[in-house]
Chains A and B, each alone.
Chain A
């Protein structure tokens, strides 16, 4: 029998909100397109160049869309199709952010981020975490864009090398904590070997796949590293169970 929270998460109301969310992004894109086309022509750009750029953009989008399709699988499994559609069609778009917010929401509500462990209150907390954690991007992008060129000058003193290290370290801190809680702690506390093995296998598979794609000089392969790593990790963990 379908759980109550899943009915709420995948009901008509949530899909309707998905339509509103995606619709607002589409509306902005159509308004921008109209202005860009109008003033592009006025500026002397050829209509053919614009058509070509649309074609190129659609072709270029195929790869990332496949990656997004794959990444969304995780979110659909965890929270249902409607929530995944709301968040990925016009939310932050980063599957990592969505999962961090989901995990933080579930943890704050004291439930597990699994279909069996989730509750209605857990779902509501996850949705609040997603909204409060992402609204700043929309506001900063929407309200402050007109002042961004000046802000960039002020922040330009940053060292890009240092920024790269800090960005990687922030992610290590966040995902390290989650990895310890979900992969290592169950082993130490309950002797549960399967999640630990799954974590290690996925870790190695991800590193191996990324290094391999670098060696083959095929960066497009990197889009699938998470899918490959979690499928291999889950399969091995299920066998160990």
Chain B
């Protein structure tokens, strides 16, 4: 039965396969993953350091702190939620590659699932760890080619567009915010209305420093949603 459902599974005893993963495969992957992730944590700062060292441009701690506060208010919870949430699906190797190179929910998760399906192995098994890792690695090769192509092609296209079209780019951000707000408004419409009712006077008339507005709105709405959820108000019907 299991052979029919998962034809790609190895016939070695489970304990033996588990031992190979745990004692031989994982230590090597942990070593490479740890060191290259630490290296990547440094590489991530190179563009900013390049501006400092080569062009002498330093915005100052206060400016960077403000930018960080706004960014961290939104991204902060996801730093912890995502690795924990996705670990069981991505496996050890998949987690290292995915959190180093991103595009998890839109690319790594479907790729991991499809690879295991095609290879006929069971998710969460030692074979699933290996096949999922191979799939995620292949997706990184595809991603590198796609992003390089996009960066070059779009640059060339944008440079050659007439002024009447490039003028429309002035409205890129408001349109983008509108589109993404619409996406999440579909998931929690009541909160979208609350967000506008509270947000417009807050942004327009509160006089608070602009960098504080995102943290206030994000945490304010998050706390409100927790309180209301506990009282059974605006709980989504579908899980």
Contact = CB atoms under 8 A, between A and B. Distances in A.
Q: Which DSSP category, helix, strand, loop or mixed, fits chain B's interface?
A: helix
Contact of B184 (A52, A125, A171, A202): A171
Given A72-B147, A148-B84, A238 B167 contact: yes
12 contacts: A39-B130, A43-B12, A45-B121, A65-B107, A92-B75, A114-B172, A123-B51, A130-B47, A132-B64, A165-B235, A182-B174, A205-B182
A99 to B, nearest CB: 7
Given A24-B40, A101-B67, A81 B154 contact: yes
Contact of A89 (B33, B101, B187, B219): B101
Interface residues of A, number: 166
Interface in B102-160: 102-104, 106-107, 110-111, 114-121, 126-127, 130-131, 133-152, 154-155, 158
Contacts of B182: 202-207, 210, 229
Contact of B100 (A25, A33, A148, A176): A25
Interface in A140-181: 140-146, 148-149, 151-152, 155, 159-181
Interface string B199-239: 11001100000110110011111101110010000111001
B204 A54 contact: no
Contacts of B148: 22, 85, 89
Interface in A174-224: 174-185, 188, 194-196, 198-207, 210-211, 223
A53 B8 CA distance: 11
A68 B103 contact: yes
Contacts of A18: 151
Nearest to B161: A77
A234 B172 contact: yes
Summarize A's interface: helix, strand, loop or mixed: helix
A10 B56 CA distance: 17
B47 A14 contact: yes
B162 to A, nearest CB: 12
Contact of A141 (B24, B72, B100, B155): B100
A131 B66 CA distance: 14
Contact of A145 (B36, B48, B83, B137): B83
B98 to A, nearest CB: 7
A226 B182 CA distance: 10
Contacts of B92: 145-146
B68 A76 contact: no
Contact of B158 (A28, A76, A146): A76
Contacts of A180: 196, 199-200, 203-204
A81 B185 CA distance: 31
A43 B75 contact: no
Contact of A120 (B55, B130, B217): B55
B125 to A, nearest CB: 10
Contacts of A229: 175, 178-179, 182
A136 B76 CA distance: 8
B99 A141 contact: yes
Given A137-B79, A142-B41, A88 B150 contact: yes
Contacts of A54: 115, 134-135, 138
Contacts of A188: 204
Given A32-B93, A120-B57, A148-B87, A25 B214 contact: no
Nearest to B87: A148
Nearest to B132: A53
